[in-house]
Amino acid sequence: MQLSNLISRVFIFIGSASVTAGIAFGAVLAQQSGEVEMSEISGDQGAPRRHFRLREPADLAPGEAQQIYEIALKALAVGYARSQDPSAGSYTEWQRYNSMPYLSATHGNHFINNYANETARAYGSGKRLPVGSVIAKDSFSVTETGGILLGPLFLMEKMPKGFSYVSGDWKYSLIQPDGTIFGETNGIDSERVQYCISCHLAVEAQDHLYFVPPNFRTKTTN
């Protein structure tokens, strides 16, 4: 797939209430014809048990994914900031722990990027992170036909002891690309992000944290 063709079909839907819910998980796919197609996504948006999954994502070289991300980043940042969440409005100023966007099957076949605030500077070391640490993962999707969709912002924030024993005191938040908060632990629509806790329990021994794949880690990543 030619990068020039992909870039010519970047679809930015921020602010369109009619498709807001679908954009958050790639449930609305922009086709070359401009039609909306729902059949390429799996998952029940009313009762999510995992991230909504793009069935057949495009196979992009890391450099292609990075160029698309550079185009989409401003729109992502502006949209997330509408949530008024402090992390959503500032994460792009934090250290980025991956060299290129990478395709994450566990995040619904989105291309994602890992950022961490200064408090979480030991992210990637395997050490437990202190209260106030925030991990942010922004995302976008690319379909086989070249539709490029803005994805959600995934946030993990280490809260004071006692916030949630089962989550290791991490608060999970998912913010849609128009700034709508889809769900947050112990907050609005918390049941919608319950599956985040279940997934991260698999790495409880490393403070419930998953790390950047080795091939995409920056030189500064431990």
CA–CA separation, 48 and 55 (whole Å): 16
CA–CA separation, 138 and 69 (whole Å): 10
Across the range 177-190, mean pLDDT stands at 94
pLDDT of residue 143: 83
Select the more confidently predicted residue: 166 or 29: 166
Res. 38: pLDDT tops 50: no
pLDDT in tens, 64-110: 999 999 999 999 999 999 999 999 999 999 999 999 999 998 898 89
- Average pLDDT, whole number, for the chain? 81
Q: How far does CA 200 lie from the centroid of its chain?
A: 15
Across the range 191-217, mean pLDDT stands at 94
pLDDT of residue 220: 59
* Per-residue confidence band for 30, with pLDDT thresholds at 50, 70 and 90: very low
b/e per residue 109-133 (b: at least 16 CB within 10 A): bbbbbbbbbeebbebbeeeebeeeb
The pair phi, psi for residue 131, each rounded to 5°, is -55, 135
Select the more confidently predicted residue: 221 or 35: 221
pLDDT of residue 142: 87
Q: How far does CA 56 lie from the centroid of its chain?
A: 18
pLDDT of residue 46: 56
pLDDT of residue 171: 98
Res. 7: pLDDT tops 50: no
pLDDT in tens, 112-146: 999 999 999 999 998 999 999 999 999 998 888 77
pLDDT of residue 59: 84
Cβ pair 96, 32 in contact under 8 A: no
